[in-house]
Amino acid sequence: MTSTLLVLRHAKAVDGGDMPDAARPLAPRGRADAAAAGDWLRANGLVPGAALCSTAVRTRETLDALAIDVPTDYEPLIYDNDASVLARLVRESDAPGTLLLVGHNPSVQQLVFDLAGEGPAAYPTCTLAVITFDTGWPDAWPGTGTLKTVRTA
């Protein structure tokens, strides 16, 4: 059984100003970048069977802008930026085949490093890593994945 994890950092959000961080929406550039990421996923046959998404406005809007109809669990723990929690959420998933995780840095970048043993030196907004596993989600432990590609906006 092969599993594919798509790790997406949210697209570019507006500056916070006086609003709470979790309430920041996408900037126009972020909407365009996320739409392009959705096009890339479709063009590469990587449409997920399920998604895990932070409850922050910018991650929800990033997922919406991908224009992919996918069953989604909105998980508040993703906002907390802890890669070990993200890995646990992945292991607990029952997603068929391909799982998309939409979250925040630094945890998404650290998750890629932890699971694949390598990753990009930088993880700007709307960066997407594709990691494959030769096993199902319960066995997605550090070092068990293979980083196939990294797409940046």
Q: Is 5 helix (H, G, I), strand (E, B) or coil?
A: strand
Task: Identify whether the C-beta of residue 54 lies closer than 8 Å to the C-beta of residue 40.
Answer: no
User: Tell me, what's the pLDDT at 40?
Assistant: 98
pLDDT in tens, 14-57: 998 889 999 999 999 999 999 999 999 999 999 999 999 999 99
User: Tell me, what's the pLDDT at 16?
Assistant: 81
The full length of the chain comes to: 153
Model pTM above 0.85: yes
Rounded CA separation 60/124 (Å): 17
Overall average pLDDT of the 70-78 stretch = 96
